[in-house]
Structures are given as structure tokens and as C-alpha cells.
Amino acid sequence: MRDAICMTNMLPSIVRTYVIPELRIFLNNVSKDISDRIGQLPGVTLMQKAHLLNFSNVKYFVIGNDKPNLMYLQAAMLQGAIICSMDFVGDLISKHSALNPMNYFADVPNYAISKAGLNSLNKLPKLFDGIHFYLVNISKKTVNDMEYTSEDIKTLIYLGGGKIDTRAPSGSNYTVSYPYHTCKTESNATVSCYLIYDEAKNLKRKTFPDQIKYQTVQWLIN
């Protein structure tokens, strides 16, 4: 990515150019026929579940005609994949040329698809970069009709650039920092560690400095 000055007869403007990501595509709820056709295109690599959840190297996440798997969608967004509609697949098959991914952002209610995509194209830090998490006795939790195990939650945190602590914080081992995607005027601006717990269980909370904060599983997922 690079910036360039574009001189016009009006005021100068900034033109930002991007490198189009490699065609490493994960197809979610897409028919086998279309999947086979996409897989035969030159330069296309179809990615599997392991690539999405374990290796974090998916560049495009295509949402088929059905409701997407929300955990897969979250995993794709957190690792910086471009979330595309089926129009992307159709044009890829018919045009056989490089496509501008910003023209194909999917529309999923309550998910900032375009913002996440632009953050990725601009090479901005991931959502959880610089933040520690400690899971407090979490086994399984259903959020928005999707069941998450503790391993699922850890996977999403890792994909978002977060760090998972194996010991509860003591209160003195965290320095104040400002996570990139948090406004400094917000209450979470100086939080360096979140203790994630299940709100359905009784939890005796300890008192910690401001940089350590309790939050629920539902808060994290949403």
C-alpha cells in the first residue's frame, strides 16, 4: 500500500492505492457446482476450515445464499479476510480478471463488514492487538443461537491478535496502554486485560486496577 498526491485543478487530494489480496477463498454455504467452478480458475486457492480457524490465512470469505455460520464469519473478520457477497464469485467466474474487493462487501446486519475490510486493506492493527484475556471457568456458552466452547473463544481471540493468559492477573503486571481501535475518551481506553466470565454463573469478583476489567462472554462475542 502507498499514498500518492493527485494534483487536480482544484485542491490536491490523497489517492490511496491497495494491493489486491491473493485469491485464497473460503466459501460458506456455496453449492458444490459453483465451488468446483471457482476451484478451477487460475490463481484461486479454495481454503478449508483449518485454514480459517487454525492458520489464519484466508483472504476472502464468500457468503452463500443461506445464513452464514456466525463463528466462521467472526473468525474471517478478525483475521482480516474480505467478506464478500456471491456477486464476487459470479464476476470472478465470468470476467476472469482482477476484481476490486471493495465493490463486493457483503451486507450482514449488525456486522461492520466494510469497516473491517478497509481496516485490513489499510494494514491496521487487529481488533485485539495489545490486549490480554483470561477466561474464568468457561466451558460452553450459547450466544445468538450459536454455541461457543472455551476453545472456540480462544480461537477468536487469537485470530483477533489477542493474548490469552494462563494465570489470573495479579493487578501489578499490566501497564496502561491504549488499544488501537479504542477511543481514548471511552471507559475501556486503558484496559489491558479482560477477565471473561459466564454471566449465568455466580462469580465473586476481585478488585483490580482500571487496566483490568471483567466482561461477559456475550460482550466479547457481540
Question: How far is it, in rounded angstroms, from Cα 192 to Cα 170?
Answer: 13
Query: pLDDT band at residue 186, thresholds of 50, 70 and 90?
Result: low
Number of compact structural domains in the chain: 2
pTM exceeding the 0.85 threshold for the entire prediction: no
- Residue 5, domain member (yes or no): no
Write out the three cell numbers for 119: 481496516
Residues 27 and 51 in one domain: yes
Chain mean pLDDT for the chain: 85
- Residue 1, domain member (yes or no): no
Q: Tell me whether residue 77 is exposed, middle or buried, using C-beta atoms within 10 angstroms of its C-beta: 0 to 12, 13 to 18, 19 or more.
A: buried
Q: What is the mean pLDDT of residues 100-121?
A: 88
CB atoms within 10 A of CB 46: 17
pLDDT of 153 > 70? The answer is yes
Question: How far is it, in rounded angstroms, from Cα 144 to Cα 221?
Answer: 9
Residues 82 and 149 in one domain: no
What is the pLDDT at residue 1?
39
